[in-house]
Structures are given as C-alpha cells and as structure tokens.
Structure 1
C-alpha cells in the first residue's frame, strides 16, 4: 500500500506523525516535491507502482480529488473516488466507482481481501455521543413519510456532523425521563428531498402518542448501516427506511451493541 500526495513530503510526515501506527501501514510514501509533475499528471502514481514493484494495471487508487482521479486513470489504474466536495459527485464520473465515504469501500470488488468487521449488515463504530433539545424539522417525517423523527440542532452538533460522513447510523436514545429506546438515524442531505444543509434525523423505534419538542434527547451512536442514497419514488424511500429499522432493531439485540443501552450518559443531561 502506497500513499501518493501532491503535498510536500515534509507536510505528509508531519500529519502522519499525529496518528500512531499510520506511517508503518504504507510500504511507500511519495510527496509532490519528489516528482516533476503532480496530479493530474500520472507521474506520482506510476512512481508509486514502480516502488511497490507492481504493474500499474494491477493497482487500485482511492482518491478524494478530481485531479487525483484524472491522474489515476491516466496511469492506467482502477480508481475509487470518495468525493471531498459534498453533493459534487458528478465531477468524478471518470472514476470506476464513486462511494460516499471510506465506510462504504468494498475491497473484495477489486480482488482484495474483504473487511472482516461487518456484523449482520452493520459496521461497529467507536461510540459517539450527541444530544440536545428536540427541534422541529421539515415536517415531512410524520406527514410525508409516516416516520416521526426527533431532529437535533445541526448548529449545536456541528463537530459531530463534520466528523461523520452522510449515511444511516444506529444506536440508543435516552429521552428526558421517559426511558432509553433503540434508534436509527439519518445524517446528511437526504437526496430525495435535496436538502441544502446537512441534518441529524434520529427515529426512535417506539410508538409515542404525542410530540416531545424541547425535551432533552441524548444519543449514543454505535454502528453504521449504509450510505445515503436517492430513490426513484417515495415508496422506495419509505421501504428502504423501514428496512433500515429492521437491521437496526436486530443488530441492537447483539451483545456487541446492546451493552450501550445502559450507558450512564443516556440518563443524564449532556
């Protein structure tokens, strides 16, 4: 595995220094100041393949930039694009595959060993904690979809939003003094509705008979299900959301995830 970046080698070394064990994962590291021409020229990728002693046609490039995708294809390599610019995937169409985030990378598609950490259609994550008062959303959850979400403020949870790629997640929700419930949650722009801002929309998997706007909601996010996606019809969207519910409900009964139901942070104000 090689790291080939347009950044100067010293900058790469500096950034990797803060992530213990990362440098040792790469057999080859090349900076933009070590080649004559950076991306979109293929030179840096061809040099990486040479140092790995691998034919370019046997290499898979994972890129977040348009110049990087262009460089990889020009080098005769297969390219998976992970767009760094939200809602701009149409700029990356020369890639062999476009994925929402590295959470969605399937190496087995490219003849590489399959990741072993998926469990019953879910990817375990280091727990993340967010919370705040329940706010009014777009009103479409209950009225259009028949799926009442308990939205949280994007502004108050901006760090969480910036750290988590858009997609469907799940975990546990503590609501005021009512109790702790299973939940499945959408993070992102909801392509079917073409949101202009990234939102957090948890669905508490319990039948409530009244609204609870303003009540304190605390979440522990423990796993990932799938990337967000667009759908040709509202019916297809609703069906997929209900399938997400089934996946989350089943997964949260596993000891791997069920242990977080008793997390004390679900029972206290953040």
Structure 2
C-alpha cells in the first residue's frame, strides 16, 4: 500500500488511524512520494511510529521519472517483492492516480483539491477523506472502531457568535441551524474533511445541548464556500443570533453527499440526528458534555 498523502507535517484526518491499523495487522506498507527522500524523512519524523511502519520509503529523487510515470510504484513493488497487481495505492493527486493505474495497481483517490472528485475518473474509488476508507473492500483487515454508526474522534473545538446563514435551514428544510462564521477558521476547516459530525453545543445563556453538524459545501445547494452548520437538537422558542456558541466535536458520521431530491436530503439529515442523539448517550461521548470549554463565555 503506497501513498503520497502522508507527506505533511500535520497528519491528514484518518492517516494516523490507518497507519496504526495496518501496522497492527502487519500489512506491508510503503511510502512513494515525489518529494526528495530527505524531505520525506524530515516530515514523517514528526509522527511517532510512522517511519518504522513503512517497509519501504522512496522519494522522487530516487527514480528517473516522476509521476505520472509508474516507475516509482513499480520500484516499490520490486523492493517489497510483491506483484504490482496485489498492491493498493492511496493517492491525492491526479498524476499519482495515473501512475498507480499505469503500474497495474488498484487506486483509491482522496482528492487534495475541494470539489474536484469528478476529475479522478481513472481511480478505482474516490473517497472524501481517509476517514471513509473501507479496507475490507481491498482485501485488508476492516476497522473495528466504529460504534453505533459513528467514528469516535479526538475532540476538537470551534466557537463564535451565531450568524445568519442562507435562510434555508428553517424555511426550506425545516431544520433550524445555528451557523458560525468561518472567518478566522480557514486552517481548521482545511484540516477537517467535509462531512457530518456530532458533539455538544454550549450556548452562553442557555446551557449545553446535543448537536449534529455539517461541514462542507452542501452539494445539493452547490455552495461556493465551505460552511459550518450546527443543528442544536433542542426546540428553542426564539432565535439567538449573536449569542456565543461553543462546539465540542467528538465523532464523525458520514461524508458529505449529494441527493436526488430535497425530500431525500431531509430524510438523511433526520437520520443523522437519530444517530447523533443515540451515540451521545453513550458514556464514551456523554462525558464531554461537562467540558468547561462549553460553559465558559467570552
């Protein structure tokens, strides 16, 4: 299994989880990147246990032709002493996908550029993020960490005043969202894949509530910018625009998706609500309701 995805000082969501999982099952892994070998070594040194997990590491300066040539992947297969057709490539770039397929390997694409999945037609599968990888599809050991249709995450936080959104939550969907401004959160939004998450929401004047939220472009409405749209799972008597909202995100439900009709979108959102509500009653997630972050005010 090879990938260009790993060569970032800050690990992509799901990368550490996947490496630990495959390493624990003794699945041979290799890293084949267009970056110089020295740069690769420097970057992966920031992640404990990564270097030891890869049986082979090859940089772009160790082959004659870079991607989209298949040379780097074929060289990895030779060093691993495996048939290329038994290998799975995980790639974020179009040249990498082309190289993997030219090497006769299966390729899963995780596009590095938002809203560009339609360009990766030569990949065997295109997924939104490494959180959505299903190893069993490729003959690899399945993950065992999903709980009640949710993936527990290392909690992360975001907050700010509630702002007006597109005006379609209550009016079009019948689902009132408490939108947050994305200003100042560019790096955080780029770190976390678009999708549906859940956790706890603290309103400075009202208390702490269960919450399910979407991050992304809402393909059905074709947003031009990435948004944060939490749905607080409580019936409020009034709007609370401008009130301080703090979120603790504790789990992931699914990737962002498009829908054939407004009704199917609404039904899916309500299903997400049911999944989130049931999961947040579990001790694993319920304990975060009492985080001081949710109850403090600016």
Give the TM-score, by structure 2 length.
Answer: 0.89
Q: Pick closer, same or farther for the CA change 1:22–1:6 going to 2, 3 Å.
A: same
Give the Å deviation of 1:269. Answer: 2.2
In structure 2, what is the equivalent of residue 96 of structure 1?
A: 124
For residues 149 and 137 of structure 2, the distance between their equivalents in structure 1, rounded to whole angstroms, comes to 17
User: Counterparts of 1:147-166 in structure 2 under 5 Å?
Assistant: 147-166=175-194
User: Counterparts of 1:46-85 in structure 2 under 5 Å?
Assistant: 46-85=74-113
**Secondary structure, aligned partner of 2:40:** helix
Summarize deviations over 1:28-53 as a string: whole Å, max 9, x none: 10001111111100010011111111
For residues 96 and 262 of structure 2, the distance between their equivalents in structure 1, rounded to whole angstroms, comes to 36
User: Counterparts of 1:71-150 in structure 2 under 5 Å?
Assistant: 71-150=99-178
Give the Å deviation of 1:199. Answer: 0.4
For residues 239 and 156 of structure 1, the distance between their equivalents in structure 2, rounded to whole angstroms, comes to 32
Q: Which one of the candidate residues 51, 64, 73 is aligned to 1:36?
A: 64
In structure 1, what is the equivalent of residue 47 of structure 2?
A: 19
In structure 2, what is the equivalent of residue 188 of structure 1?
A: 216
For residues 79 and 209 of structure 1, the distance between their equivalents in structure 2, rounded to whole angstroms, comes to 51
**Secondary structure, aligned partner of 1:48:** helix
**Secondary structure, aligned partner of 1:213:** coil
User: Counterparts of 1:228-239 in structure 2 under 5 Å?
Assistant: 228-239=256-267
Summarize deviations over 1:93-144 as a string: whole Å, max 9, x none: 1000000000100000100000121111111101101101000000010100
Gaps of 5+ in 1: none
Give the Å deviation of 1:174. Answer: 0.4
Q: Which one of the candidate residues 204, 219, 236 is aligned to 2:247?
A: 219
Gaps of 5+ in 2: 1-28
In structure 2, what is the equivalent of residue 269 of structure 1?
A: 297
For residues 31 and 269 of structure 1, the distance between their equivalents in structure 2, rounded to whole angstroms, comes to 49
For residues 227 and 238 of structure 1, the distance between their equivalents in structure 2, rounded to whole angstroms, comes to 16
For residues 127 and 73 of structure 2, the distance between their equivalents in structure 1, rounded to whole angstroms, comes to 21
For residues 82 and 115 of structure 1, the distance between their equivalents in structure 2, rounded to whole angstroms, comes to 18
Summarize deviations over 1:189-240 as a string: whole Å, max 9, x none: 0000000000000000000111100000010000000000000000010000
Which moves more between the two structures, 103-112 or 11-20? 11-20
4+ residue runs of structure 1 moved beyond 3 angstroms? none
In structure 2, what is the equivalent of residue 207 of structure 1?
A: 235
Aligned length: 270
Which moves more between the two structures, 20-29 or 153-162? 153-162
